[in-house]
């Protein structure tokens, strides 16, 4: 049964990474697009891009932390 736990931790981490990858790339894509449209707003856009990317990353890391705990426990 321990093997199943380790496997589920690995699967969970992978799924979390898929979600975070999609989320962060959507943020990056749309902010590069808007920077190209409005180069004068680059600074503001970069700030909110980093902030929202950190949100997405944070949620993914919640999942990764839970996976880590499954694997440890």
CA distance 30 to 45: 10
Closest contact distance (angstroms) between CB of 5 and another protein is 17
Mark 1-40 with x for binding to another protein (rule: CB under 8 A) and - for no binding.
----------------------------------------
Identify whether the C-beta of residue 34 lies closer than 8 Å to the C-beta of residue 41. yes
Q: Please report, as residue ranges, which positions from 49 to 68 form the binding site for another protein (by CB under 8 A).
A: 50-51, 54, 57-58, 61-62, 64-65, 68
Task: List contacts with another protein (CB under 8 A).
Answer: 47, 50-51, 54, 57-58, 61-62, 64-65, 68, 72
């Amino acid at each position: 049964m321990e093997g199943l736990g380790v496997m589920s931790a690995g699967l969970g981490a992978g799924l979390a990474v898929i979600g975070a990858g999609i989320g962060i790339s959507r943020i990056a894509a749309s902010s590069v697009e808007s920077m190209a449209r409005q180069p004068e707003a680059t600074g503001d856009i970069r700030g909110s891009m980093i902030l929202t990317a950190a949100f997405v990353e944070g949620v993914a890391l919640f999942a990764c932390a839970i996976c880590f705990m499954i694997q440890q426990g």
